[in-house]
């Protein structure tokens, strides 16, 4: 168990999930949280990561650092997504083993599941079929990470656990329209269309794919909950268990941002996997459930974007 003064390293603390985990740890009374910017510590460098663990000796690790992106970035920068993620996770997980970290949590993604797996996605569907092609390299890296944690546990008796979040959103998200996920992209597009009195907002694809969304503070809450409650070789889906179509999502953001114009669907852009709803009963059985409803979360994310918009110009 993490104690209030345990040394906890959050890798990726500037990102959507890492920043939420730091907020959650701080508000829960943990006092010794280690963070490093990319300029201070290059997680893709084996020797730098080993030196960092040897000097700082973290006791607990949240591995939330990864190269992440939306459907277009994943599809184009295929080699970068595979290579960079393998390097980061291999380095941090091996260093955690070599330097006797008490417990590590690896963050995966719902895209690890086969494209045509039954819905909702249960943890046991891993490796039962072919992956969605647009993000196959990223998913392969994440599957390797889960298996690396499990294999270290089995061979060396470590306490490394993995979690698979659904689509996340919230403060510190990536709002770059070419590389972001759908939620920040649409928030940015609707806010900008309203501010500039544009008549249309373009939504990629057909609008029919379904996605599940979890607010990042709920995700962080679940991560800290599992870090304190679970050890073993099962991994956990983290989500709400409810999804919406991309059209419904766009209409909700439209309502919240007050955009008066029309939606246009650009069918030259990929839809990706038709649906990826998580089965969250394994996590629910331990007593965890999310607390931020979708509309409230979108309001929070829109407000955060409005206050931090200058960063993304």
Q: Which is nearer to ligand GDP, 27 or 208 (CB)?
A: 208
Catalytic, out of 138, 169, 215, 305: 138
Residue list 235-294, contact with ligand GDP (CB under 6 A): 246, 269-272
Is residue 120 a contact residue for ligand GDP (CB under 6 A)? Answer: no
DSSP code, position 44 = T
Q: Which is nearer to ligand GDP, 100 or 199 (CB)?
A: 199
Is residue 209 a contact residue for ligand GDP (CB under 6 A)? Answer: yes
What's the CA gap between 104 and 214, in Å, rounded? 22
Is residue 176 a contact residue for ligand GDP (CB under 6 A)? Answer: no
Virtual CA dihedral for 122, 114, 138, 181, nearest 10 degrees? -70
Task: Give yes or no: 138 in active site.
Answer: yes
Cα–Cα separations (whole angstroms), residue 289 to 18, 113, 124, 226, 244: 20, 22, 20, 12, 18
| Beta strand spans in the chain (E) | 7-11, 32-34, 60-63, 103-107, 160-165, 167-169, 200-204, 210-211, 213-215, 236-238, 244-245, 262-266
Identify which range of 23-31, 122-130, 157-165, 197-205 contacts ligand GDP by CB under 6 A.
197-205
Identify which range of 37-45, 85-93, 181-189, 296-304 contacts ligand GDP by CB under 6 A.
181-189
Q: Which is nearer to ligand GDP, 99 or 247 (CB)?
A: 247
Minimum CB separation of residue 245 from ligand GDP in Å reads 9
Q: Which residues of 132-170 are buried (b: 16+ CB within 10 A; e: fewer)?
A: bebbbbbbbbbbbbbebbbebbeeeebbbbbbbbbbbbb
Helix (H, G, I), strand (E, B) or coil at 46: helix
If you write DSSP's letter for every residue of 130-152 in order, what string do you get?
A: PPPGGGHHHHHHHHHHHHHHHHH
What's the CA gap between 246 and 253, in Å, rounded? 11
Minimum CB separation of residue 106 from ligand GDP in Å reads 19
Is residue 204 a contact residue for ligand GDP (CB under 6 A)? Answer: yes
Residue of the chain from 203, 226, 277, 302 that contacts ligand GDP (CB under 6 A): 203
Contacts with ligand GDP by CB under 6 A: the residue count is 20
Is residue 70 a contact residue for ligand GDP (CB under 6 A)? Answer: yes
What's the CA gap between 124 and 4, in Å, rounded? 34
Is residue 71 a contact residue for ligand GDP (CB under 6 A)? Answer: yes
Q: Which is nearer to ligand GDP, 114 or 270 (CB)?
A: 270
Identify which range of 176-184, 217-225, 289-297, 301-309 contacts ligand GDP by CB under 6 A.
176-184
- Report the catalytic residues: 138
Binding site for ligand GDP (CB under 6 A): 70-71, 111, 135, 167, 180-182, 185-186, 203-205, 209, 211, 246, 269-272
């Amino acid at each position: 168990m993490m104690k209030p003064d345990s040394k906890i390293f959050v890798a990726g603390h500037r990102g959507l999930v890492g920043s939420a985990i730091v907020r959650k740890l701080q508000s829960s009374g943990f006092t010794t949280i280690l963070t490093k910017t990319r300029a201070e510590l290059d997680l893709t460098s084996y020797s730098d990561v080993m030196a960092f663990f040897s000097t700082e000796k973290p006791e607990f690790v949240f591995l939330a650092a990864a190269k992440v992106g939306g459907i277009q970035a994943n599809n184009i920068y295929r080699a970068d997504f595979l290579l960079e993620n393998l390097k980061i996770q291999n380095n941090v997980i091996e260093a955690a083993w070599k330097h006797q970290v008490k417990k590590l949590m690896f963050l995966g993604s719902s895209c690890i599941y086969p494209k045509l797996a039954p819905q909702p996605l249960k943890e046991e569907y891993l490796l039962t079929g072919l992956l969605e092609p647009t993000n196959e390299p990223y998913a392969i890296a994440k599957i390797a990470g889960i298996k690396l944690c499990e294999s270290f546990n089995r061979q060396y008796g470590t306490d490394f656990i993995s979690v698979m979040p659904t689509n996340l959103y919230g403060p510190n998200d990536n709002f770059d329209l070419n590389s972001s996920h759908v939620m920040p992209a649409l928030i940015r597009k609707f806010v900008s269309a309203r501010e500039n009195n544009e008549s249309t907002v373009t939504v990629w694809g057909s609008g029919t794919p379904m996605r599940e969304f979890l607010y990042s503070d709920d995700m962080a809450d679940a991560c800290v909950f599992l870090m304190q409650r679970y050890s073993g070789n099962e991994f956990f889906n983290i989500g709400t268990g409810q999804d919406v179509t991309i059209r419904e999502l766009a209409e909700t953001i439209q309502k919240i941002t007050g955009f008066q114009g029309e939606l246009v669907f650009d069918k030259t852009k990929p839809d990706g996997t038709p649906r990826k709803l998580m089965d969250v009963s394994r996590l629910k059985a331990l007593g965890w459930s999310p607390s931020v409803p979708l509309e409230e979360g979108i309001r929070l994310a829109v407000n955060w974007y409005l206050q931090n918009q200058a960063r993304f110009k």
